[in-house]
Structure 1
């Protein structure tokens, strides 16, 4: 009997660590699986997802730029996907796809359990209003933060995310050009590609007064893709710096549980990847 088939779909996707992570989880729990990658441009997503199901595919992880479109392809939605409006995990039910989102639970678990962060009562700045921001925002609110300020280059997307969250007492959409007047913050999260092309000596330009020496900073990217943003944070005096590698592993573990009914241990997989993607700016 052949192993069940899973994959991550995105564009581009060759760089994804998801196959490696899920194969490690499978070995840990003695679950045979095949896990590959599907690189497809947005216009091909419906056909490629349908073909994967027709060929026996049981589950998909979804990454950029498909998280919004994947939401529309699902015939059922879990409560988190309903709430955030984007999907990063799809499970085949036999009649259609059931969509989930594990990004937020992955981020919060990484911050609170691995990093020992207490999110309760914290004033948070979320930079970005795309799929990644949609995925993590509800979980941050559930973790007890006191205020969530959202900024994005496109004001309409900022307002749309704030409206979706439906928590006007804590959620505050702001214009990107107003960031200089918003701080300071307890926690700043970059959910954009800002800084991906910046090197260690060329950090992104953002107002330093958003930070105090007690501000923690997270980039949802990992490894070299997070260098530019975290270099800015270090230069501005941030307290602790985290990239998104831990979130990646934790959200994958939550996806694995959805598909297989068991949640793997993550520390060993995380430590192996951290050694490979060692990052001197992060505060591990």
Structure 2
């Protein structure tokens, strides 16, 4: 077979493959649109599938960005603050080359699909913030090894942070789990991420408890983080004594620099408890033994009776 014929066959094969991918991506968006509730008609008015007479037409849809405007292969999908409702969109696995998904600022609910790593294997950026998603972080998410940015903040997620979270994403640079209801201790494995690419870690306003692991010191000078407004207790690791108090604020049982002095707080607590116990004991004694209570010798042993 001549080189010219091989070249022509290669072009035909490539063209067929591109058309196949483009067809899949068109069907991906069509399925996605059908799976959502669109009360404001944001997608209904701009995603017009009847105009598919030319390749690349879906690249002009609201929130859709393609790798190449002429081949209809979706690179990113930004459906931000459009009032969309429903569960995690169906059909996204058809957009096989998507690397950026932003669904923030809508009213999505329900869990993250347990097979998300299969649906979106090449995803680098995932933003589900400011919705009503719930449930736990699926363990399958640890297989999304290309993910660099994950924002699940301001939702209704609960349960523990996966203990193997360091396997979550070797390339992860930002992890935001703030303003949810995550509970349990901070996994020590999360500190392993400090030796990778992690730059931002936000655990603010959850129900996390236990002590701040001393291994967290490995994050001290390389990662911007917050554990404020949780249920942590005990002593802040000494490596954070020169950090701002706002990072740890709102944990009532947490103390030590840069928060208040633990000994002083303990003394105040004991004094308050002692005063309360003393008041109760005094009241009981006064009620049953009123003849014991003498206000002053100048009153000639005036007896206080209830």
> Smaller-chain TM-score range?
under 0.3
TM-score by length of 1: 0.25
TM-score by length of 2: 0.23
Higher Rg: 2
Larger RCO: 1 or 2 (CA < 8 Å, sep 6+): 1
